[in-house]
């Protein structure tokens, strides 16, 4: 692998500028990976790794990724919340890399909720 | 949790929830003294003496959604089973500082694991917080500063997928270069 330099960051900046000039830059989906101690201990980081890899491979720019803390459902971790613009958030339970890839391809890209992995629909009351 | 990278992710997430603007993560491998030191310092809300005294108790937590707080106790256990210790200091309004030591070559020391992945997760989830990661081995030093990166990319968000990819390879390459054995 070629040595990574600050020049690479400049190239990224130019490329992103060129891309954003072509579209309006709105985010369509927000994905939250719950990153409390319970989440991390049960594999949330691997879920995050595979999500970022999928986004990279699909080349999509309208999906935002974020993390949150524990919401008290530690036994069902790793939890992932998918919020598509103007739709109810969907919470997925017992996630792993494979399920994350499936949710990304089918739900995030194609809009088809992956019922077998769903914990709940709707916003959480406590964060 | 069986990798130090996961502990780092967990502890730094605490910093972000304490409202920190800066989180400094510092790992030092000292082969001549067989010592591995991890320091995490933040400028978050900090804790008063009473809270600090209870912070390492697994049955103490500030959260309302559950009755245990296992993050710090699990790190204490990881340190103590590798011949080290955990020292926590904090001041309300100033921030919290944590120092953990391990025997570098101790058989039961947890491996470092995927540090790049942990940092990328932290940065992706907390784009407004500045993270520095400093890794020393002997006199070799690797340094990553999101503040520096933000200067270079100007209006491109730091959690843009291309930037995250850059950060991941930057860390992987830097760690290889300094010959990290942890």
Three-class SS state of A90: strand
pLDDT for position A126: 45
Other C-beta atoms closer than 10 Å to the C-beta of A84 total: 17
Per-10-residue mean pLDDT of chain A, 127 residues long, equals 81 84 75 96 97 94 92 94 94 97 97 96 63
ipTM of this complex prediction, to 2 decimal places? 0.91
Low-confidence ranges of chain B (pLDDT < 70): none
For chain A, the structural domain boundaries read 25-121
Of the candidates A40, A103, A107, A114, which has an alpha carbon nearest to the alpha carbon of residue A77? A40
* B118 touches B13 (CB < 8 A): no
- Which residue(s) pair with B144 in the sheet? B133
CA dihedral A107, B65, B55, B103 (to 10 degrees): -30
pLDDT for position B71: 94
pLDDT for position A25: 64
Count the helix, strand and coil residues of chain A and give each as a percent rounded to the nearest 5: 45, 20, 35
The class that CATH gives domain A25-121 is: alpha beta
Chains A and B form CB pairs within 8 A to the count of 101
User: Which residue numbers of A have CB closer than 8 Å to B's CBs?
Assistant: 1, 3-4, 6, 8-10, 12-13, 15-17, 33, 35-38, 40-41, 45, 48-49, 52, 55-56, 61, 64-72, 74, 126
- pTM for this prediction: 0.92
The architecture CATH gives domain B4-177: 2-Layer Sandwich (3.30)
């Amino acid at each position: 692998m070629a040595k990574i330099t600050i020049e690479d960051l400049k190239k990224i900046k130019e490329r992103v500028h060129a891309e954003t000039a072509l579209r309006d830059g709105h985010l369509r989906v927000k994905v939250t990976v719950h990153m409390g101690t319970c989440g991390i201990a049960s594999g949330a980081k691997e879920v995050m790794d595979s999500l970022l890899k999928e986004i990279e491979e699909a080349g999509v720019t309208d999906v935002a990724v974020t993390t949150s803390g524990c919401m008290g459902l530690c036994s069902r971790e790793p939890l992932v919340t998918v919020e598509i613009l103007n739709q109810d958030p969907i919470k997925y339970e017992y996630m792993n890399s494979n399920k994350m890839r499936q949710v990304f391809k089918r739900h995030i890209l194609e809009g088809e909720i992956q019922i077998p992995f769903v914990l709940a629909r709707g916003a959480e009351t406590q964060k | 949790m069986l990798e130090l990278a996961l502990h780092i992710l967990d502890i730094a997430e605490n910093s972000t929830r304490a409202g920190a603007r800066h989180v400094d993560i510092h790992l030092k491998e000292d082969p001549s003294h067989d010592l591995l030191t991890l320091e995490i310092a933040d400028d978050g809300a900090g804790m008063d003496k009473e809270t600090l005294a209870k912070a390492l108790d697994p049955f103490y937590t500030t959260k309302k959604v559950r009755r245990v707080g296992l993050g710090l106790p699990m790190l204490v256990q990881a340190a103590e089973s590798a011949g080290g210790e955990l020292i926590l200091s904090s001041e309300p309004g100033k921030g919290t500082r944590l120092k953990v030591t391990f025997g570098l070559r101790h058989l039961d020391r947890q491996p470092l694991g995927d540090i790049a992945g942990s940092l990328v997760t932290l940065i992706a989830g907390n784009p407004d917080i500045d993270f520095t990661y400093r890794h020393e081995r002997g006199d070799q030093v690797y340094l990553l500063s999101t503040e520096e990166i933000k200067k270079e990319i100007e209006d491109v968000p730091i959690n843009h997928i291309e930037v995250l990819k850059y950060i991941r390879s930057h860390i992987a390459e830097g760690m290889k270069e300094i010959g990290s054995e942890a």
